[in-house]
Every structure is written in structure tokens, then in C-alpha cells.
Structure 1
Amino acid sequence: MNRMKELAATAKAFLLDNDEATTSELNEHLKSIALTLLTDKVGDFWSGVEVDHLGDAQRDLRELARGSLSVNQQEHIVKALEALTAAQARVHSGDTQPLLSVLSQLDSTTGNATAILKDDVRDNVRDNPTESTESCLYWDELSSIYRGEHSINLKPASQVDIASAHKTLARFTL
């Protein structure tokens, strides 16, 4: 019974409990997981026990792959296994390149959707220039709102890490 609960928790964590999840939704969720695995401090986030959780999640995903899943879900399992393997490389040897590669692949698969959104925004700016410039959020505002919303769920060290990451991102959003 415990094994079934563990499998159900893994399925839920990777959105495999939702047959209707689109590839884009699955990729975005996995991207957020991979980003967390990349940016959290290894010493703070992963103890020896937590590293075992990565291996357990891999085993659970392989077992879930034997079940009846959609093509999107099967593809998602492959990507999730790559992300977990990359996270283990970071934990064991400090090699972040595999996780960066996973994030890059996920960015390229979601890039088409964001390109469409950018085109829509450009069309809206052209059609209603005053409306869209008045309602736009700048990075500093957006970052502040995000950190404010998530501050109650994060440890102080994580808040500092996020503030640092947002400060770095701010340099590229001018």
C-alpha cells in the first residue's frame, strides 16, 4: 500500500496524474522543477536522504512508464528522467552542465509558444499603443511582486537566492 502511495505522489509531482495535461504544461512544470534543482544550494536542499529521493523518483517514473499513459506523458517521463539524472550529476560532482542542457531543451520546446505570445503582444501594442504601455510591468515590479507572494513559503536562504537570481536576470531585461 505504501508503494502505491509513493507512486501516486511521484505521478502527482510530475503532473502524470492528469491525462489531459498538454505537452506545453508538462514542459513548463518540468522546467520549474529543473530550475529548482539547478538553483537551490546542494548542501541546504539535499542531505544524503534527499539524494536518495532523486533515485526513488527515477525508479517510480520508470515503473509509471510501464502503465497506460498518453504519448505526451511518456515523452514527459523521458524528459523527467533526464532532469533527475542531471540533478544527480550536480549533487555528486558539482557538474551543472547537464541541468543547463535540460533547461535549454525545455526552453526550445516551449519557445514556439512564447514566440506566438510575443507576436500577439506586438500586434496589441501596434493597435493600442497607449493601453499596453500603461499596463505593462517592468522587471523590478514583477520581481518584487513575485518575491512578496512567495516569501511566506520560502526559507530566508531561499529568499536571498531568489533575490540574487532576480538581480542577475535584471541585467538582461533592459
Structure 2
Amino acid sequence: MNKKIKLAIMGIITLIAVSGCLQSKIQLDPPTATLTIVKSDFGNGSNQGIGSYCLKEIWIGSCKDKMGILTLQEPLPVGSPFTAHLLLPFQETPEELQLNVIPVTNKDKLKEGEEHRWQLWQFQEGERLTLPLEREQDIELSLEPGLYVLKIGSGWKEKGNLSYGFLLEVQPEHPNK
């Protein structure tokens, strides 16, 4: 085997190894969004969003879809109305950004995660809102008491698509009001 062929084979093997490492990094560390309650009768709270994604990195892509909407197990308690601050993971402005406000009950749960840290919820219609195309913004909502999944869908032409689920529990009004 001549030297050029050996060098080409070594280059291909190196390229495959590097792309496998990059793919593993994406799958292990999908970027998270943060939803922080900044104004509510029940104080402030923060939640890291987790969910489905289809991302493009260099020449490879990585996708992970769920059969429902993934949230953390414990809801953030809020009063209504409330203001939530959304922070998306990329510095670039998203090209699409939607919010679905979905009322849920225990019947809508699909599966509990390991150590009960997350919850999978059935896909449902909710109130769909188109958000301003900003990576960081305040969202003001007024909801009836109950349990809600806020599903954020975001997309970037060069990066891919991400969706996040946040579980909120809107508390009844304080009796002192």
C-alpha cells in the first residue's frame, strides 16, 4: 500500500472519530432554556427547560424527539397574573418562536422519569401565541388556577430546532387580597 493511500485511510478514520465525539457531545449536552418567574404573588422561581431537539453542528446533526412534552417533575408555583422571563440558549436571534399554553391534569401524564425528576405529558392543543423573535424576553400571562405546561418551540436556520416544556401550577388567589 503506498503512502498516500495509508494517509487517506488515517484521515478518514480520524474524521469518523472526531464526528462521533461531536455527535456524543451534542446528545449529552443539548442546550437548555431558562424560564424565571419574575413577578408573581407566590414569589420568584426558576426552571431549566428540557425537551426535544434537532440540531446542526458542523457537518453532522443530532435529533432527539419525545412522544410528548417533557417537563421537570415539580411545577413552579405562580399566582395570576404573572411575568416569566424566558432566556434561550443561543446568542443568535431565533427565526421562529412560539408559546403553547396547555392546561393539564394527572390524566395527561404519560410517563415519569428516573428518580421522578421529569414528567412526560400528552401532546394537546392549547392557546398558541407567537412570541417576538428575541432570545431573551418577558412573557406576561393571566391564567385560571390549575396545572399548565408551557411549551416553547424555537428555530434557527443555522442551528436547528429546539422545544422546551415548563410545568407551572397557578395557585388560587391569596385570601388577603
TM-score where L is the length of structure 1: 0.25
The structure showing larger relative contact order (alpha-carbon pairs under 8 Å, at least 6 residues apart) is: 2
Q: Which has the higher helix share?
A: 1
Q: Which has the higher strand share?
A: 2
| Greater C-alpha Rg | 2
